[in-house]
C-alpha cells in the first residue's frame, strides 16, 4: 500500500522506525526526540501495543512518555480485529500528536490491524501531520513491503526473506531491525535483491531513522543504520539460484550511518553528521 495522500497545504508527519531495545531511562535520545517532535508538553501520544502479548507493554510506554514530559499518553488495548474498529479508540487516535507502535511480533500486528479502521486512521493521520514511531515489530510494519521473517546470516539466498504487506507509511525503503544484534544482513540483501527498487535499511537496536516529510532520513541513537542501495545493481543471480546456492550481486552501494548522519530517500545520497 502506498502512503496515504497528503492534502495540499498540509505537511506529512515524520515516520520513525526504531531498531528495537531503545533506551527508556538513562539517555532516551530517541523517545525524547519523538516526544519533542510531537509537541513536548503538549504532546498526546497514543500507543498501539498490539504486537506484544505482554499485558503491561502499553502501560509501561504510557509511563515512559509521561516521564519524558508528554501531556498525555494512552495505550489502546487492541488485541483483535474488532478492537481495531472500536469507536472510542478511533476517537482517541484523532487526538494524537504522536502515535507509537510497540515491539512484539509484526505478523501479529499486521494480521490484527491490517485493513482495519485503526490502520486506515494511522495512515491518514500520518498524512495529515501526526508523527508515527514504531520499535522492532512496530518499525517492521511501517513500509509498503514488510520483512516478516527469514534466516539469520550475512549472505543473501533464494529463500532468504519472507515478505508480508505492511502498513504502507513509507514505500521508498525496506527495513529490518535488531540488525547487527541478530545478524540480518543476509535477509536485507535478499529483500533488496528480490526487486531492487527500494533501498534497504538495517536498523540496529537503540537506533532510529527519523524520516521527515521531505524524505530526508536522520539517524538518532547509539547504534548505526546500514543502508544498502541497489540502484546501481548491474547483475543479480537471484532469479536463477537453486535452493541454498550462493548468490552473486554486483554493484550495490553500502553506507554505514551513525547518529546525525543523513540519507535522502529520493536522491539516495548519504551525508555525514
Catalytic residue annotation = 136, 178, 205
Least CB distance to a second copy at residue 237 (A): 7
Compute the distance between CA of residue 51 and CA of residue 103 in angstroms, rounded to an integer: 6
What x-and-dash track marks residues 195-214 binding a second copy by CB under 8 A?
A: -------x-x--x-------
Stretch of 9-17, 62-70, 110-118, 256-264 lying at the interface with a second copy (CB under 8 A): 256-264
Least CB distance to a second copy at residue 270 (A): 4
Among 189, 198, 201, 203, interactor with a second copy by CB under 8 A: 189
Among 128, 180, 216, 268, interactor with a second copy by CB under 8 A: 180
Residue 134 grid cell: 514504531
Residue 226 grid cell: 546500514
Interaction of residue 183 with a second copy, rule CB under 8 A: yes
Residue 11 grid cell: 505537511
Question: Which residue, among 252, 219, 221, 246, has the nearest Cα to 234 in the 3D structure?
Answer: 252
Least CB distance to a second copy at residue 21 (A): 14
Among 96, 101, 112, 270, interactor with a second copy by CB under 8 A: 270
At a CB cut-off of 8 Å and minimum separation 6, what does 178 contact?
Answer: 19, 20, 21, 136, 184, 204, 205
Among 64, 222, 231, 242, interactor with a second copy by CB under 8 A: 222
Compute the distance between CA of residue 23 and CA of residue 220 in angstroms, rounded to an integer: 12
At a CB cut-off of 8 Å and minimum separation 6, what does 176 contact?
Answer: 140, 147, 184, 187, 188, 191, 200, 201, 202, 203
Interaction of residue 153 with a second copy, rule CB under 8 A: yes
Compute the distance between CA of residue 163 and CA of residue 147 in angstroms, rounded to an integer: 5
- Residue numbers of the site for a second copy (CB under 8 A)? 153-156, 179-180, 183, 185-186, 189, 202, 204, 207, 222-224, 226, 228, 234-235, 237, 245-259, 261, 270-273
Amino acid at each position: 500500500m502506498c502512503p496515504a495522500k497528503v492534502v495540499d497545504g498540509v505537511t506529512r508527519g515524520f515516520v520513525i522506525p526504531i531498531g528495537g531495545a531503545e533506551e527508556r531511562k538513562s539517555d532516551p535520545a530517541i523517545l525524547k526526540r519523538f516526544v519533542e517532535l510531537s509537541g513536548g508538553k503538549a504532546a498526546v501520544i497514543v500507543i498501539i501495543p498490539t504486537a506484544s502479548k505482554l499485558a503491561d507493554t502499553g502501560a509501561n510506554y504510557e509511563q515512559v512518555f509521561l516521564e519524558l514530559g508528554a501531556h498525555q499518553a494512552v495505550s489502546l488495548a487492541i488485541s483483535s480485529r474488532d478492537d481495531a474498529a472500536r469507536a472510542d479508540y478511533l476517537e482517541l487516535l484523532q487526538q494524537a500528536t504522536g502515535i507509537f507502535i510497540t515491539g512484539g511480533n509484526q505478523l501479529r500486528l499486521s494480521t490484527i490491524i491490517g485493513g482495519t479502521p485503526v490502520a486506515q486512521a494511522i495512515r491518514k493521520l500520518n498524512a495529515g501531520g501526526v508523527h508515527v514511531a514504531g520499535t522492532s515489530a512496530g518499525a517492521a510494519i511501517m513500509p509498503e513491503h514488510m520483512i516478516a521473517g527469514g534466516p539469520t546470516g550475512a549472505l543473501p539466498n533464494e529463500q532468504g526473506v519472507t515478505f508480508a504487506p505492511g502498513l504502507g507509511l513509507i514505500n521508498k525503503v525496506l527495513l529490518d531491525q535488531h540488525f547487527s544484534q541478530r545478524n540480518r544482513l543476509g535477509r536485507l540483501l535478499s529483500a533488496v535483491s528480490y526487486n531492487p527498487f527500494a533501498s534497504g535499511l538495517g536498523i540496529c537496536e537503540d537506533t532510529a531513522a527519523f524520516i521527515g516529510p521531505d524524505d530526508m532520513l536522520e539517524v538518532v541513537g547509539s547504534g548505526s543504520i546500514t543502508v544498502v542501495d541497489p540502484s546501481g545493481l548491474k547483475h543479480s543471480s537471484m532469479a536463477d539460484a537453486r535452493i541454498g546456492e550462493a548468490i552473486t550481486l554486483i554493484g550495490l552501494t553500502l553506507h554505514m550511518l551513525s547518529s546525525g548522519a543523513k540519507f535522502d530517500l529520493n536522491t539516495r545520497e548519504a551525508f555525514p553528521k
